[in-house]
Amino acid sequence: MVRPLYSSLIPNNGSYPLMSRYWPILPAAGVGRRMMADRPKQYLLLQQRFLLDHTLECMLSYPDFEQVVMVLSEDDPYWPQSDFANDPRILRANGGAERCHSVLNGLAALDGLATDDDWVVVHDVARPCLRHSDLDKLFSVLVAPGAILATPTRDTMKRGVIVDSSGKVRIDHTVDRVQLWHALTPQVFRYAELRDALTTCLAQGYEVTDEASAMEYCQQFPLLVEGRADNIKVTRPEDLALAELFLTQDR
Ligand SMILES: Nc1ccn([C@@H]2O[C@H](COP(=O)(O)OP(=O)(O)OP(=O)(O)O)[C@@H](O)[C@H]2O)c(=O)n1
Ligand SMILES: C[C@](O)(CO)[C@H](O)COP(=O)(O)O
């Protein structure tokens, strides 16, 4: 498919159309508690490479992405061993206490570089199996206020309630799963709108777990674009072998 070189033409004073650019931001400052590994999960090895390098390879090889904002822990001791540690296309920002703070820091790193109407493409570095075909699909339908990749739920969904101090959980009820989706990443929004939405949420103490939640809080409702279910977020130990398998498949 022919991919739009730029997401949209932005008319200005009629002299020439401005092109909006794409700015990937990769939150990569987590500690990976749920992975229970000896290092942050983004530095675990998949096919003898850092997990993070697989994600960066995908993003930096996508034709419309010229630079990538990497949001890393300030004291990240592993980054210098990354294949991309000295890559001039990497803009570095410091992580924050939660993912939402890291993303806001990533947006701040674009101050003076991105125009208000440029698109920011926020993608978890913990999702190394993203394919260019899903990026193509996302950008082919991208319109304001933005869009996210998502997959419809496949299982019957239950709401649980904790029943005793041991943490035992019982079913409270079955949740209607029609139109229930797993939010994935990338999540794509206009630079200024996402910066303002996240700033508003955090000022209210609302530490959102994804960018779309911040937009929804501000009454902006992005598109859900069905993406591949193998665009998994490596979160728990059993996810690593799955990601390794997905990376061996033709991409
Ligand atoms: N303060 C944080 C927390 C998370 N992330 C990033 O956000 C993505 C998704 O977060 P998650 O899967 O929760 O990663 P962790 O927070 O590292 O995992 P855990 O919750 O198990 O500690 C990851 O790429 C992670 O590196 C981040 O940049 N800054
Ligand atoms: C952004 C995300 O991957 C969408 O599902 C998810 O919200 C990240 O959550 P986490 O708790 O930071 O892994």
Question: Model confidence over 14-71: pLDDT tens digits?
Answer: 554 457 799 999 999 999 999 999 999 999 999 999 999 999 999 999 999 999 999 9
Which atom of ligand 1 is least distant from the CA of 126? 24
Q: Is residue 6 part of a domain?
A: no
Q: Taking the model in full, what pTM does it have?
A: 0.93
Point out the ligand 1 atom lying closest to the alpha carbon of residue 235: 12
DSSP string, 46-101: ETTEEHHHHHHHHHHTSTT---EEEEE-TT-SSGGGSTTTT-TTEEEEE--SSHHH
Considering every ligand atom shown, identify the ligand nearest to the alpha carbon of residue 28 and give its number. 1
Domain that holds residue 68: 22-148+183-247
Residue 232 Cα to ligand 1 midpoint, Å, equals 14
- Note the pLDDT of residue 89: 97
Predicted local confidence at residue 20, as pLDDT: 79
Residues 6+ apart with CB under 8 A from 130: 55, 58, 59, 123, 185, 186, 231
Instruction: Count other C-beta atoms under 10 Å from residue 61's C-beta.
Output: 9
pLDDT exceeds cutoff 60 at 109: yes
pLDDT band for position 251 (cuts 50, 70, 90): confident
Distance 229 CA to ligand 2 centre (A): 15
The reply to whether 4 falls in a domain is no
In a domain, 157, yes or no: no
Give the total number of structural domains in the chain. 1
| 166 occurs within a structural domain | no
User: Is residue 178 situated within a structural domain?
Assistant: no
Q: Is the residue at 69 inside a domain?
A: yes
Q: Which two tokens stand for residue 188?
A: 């794509």
Question: Mean pLDDT, the chain, as a whole number?
Answer: 94
pLDDT in tens, 170-200: 999 999 999 999 999 999 999 999 999 999 9
Judge whether 115 lies within some domain.
Answer: yes
Provide CB contacts within 8 A for 11, sequence distance 6+. Answer: 17, 18
Ligand 1: does its nearest atom lie under 6 Å from the Cβ of 96?
Answer: yes
Note the pLDDT of residue 87. Answer: 98
**Does residue 201 line the site of ligand 1, with CB under 6 A?**
no
At residue 100's C-alpha, the angle toward residues 24 and 239, to 5°, is 75
> What CATH number has the domain bearing residue 215?
3.90.550.10
pLDDT digits (tens, 9 = 90+) for 195-223: 999 999 999 999 999 999 999 999 999 99
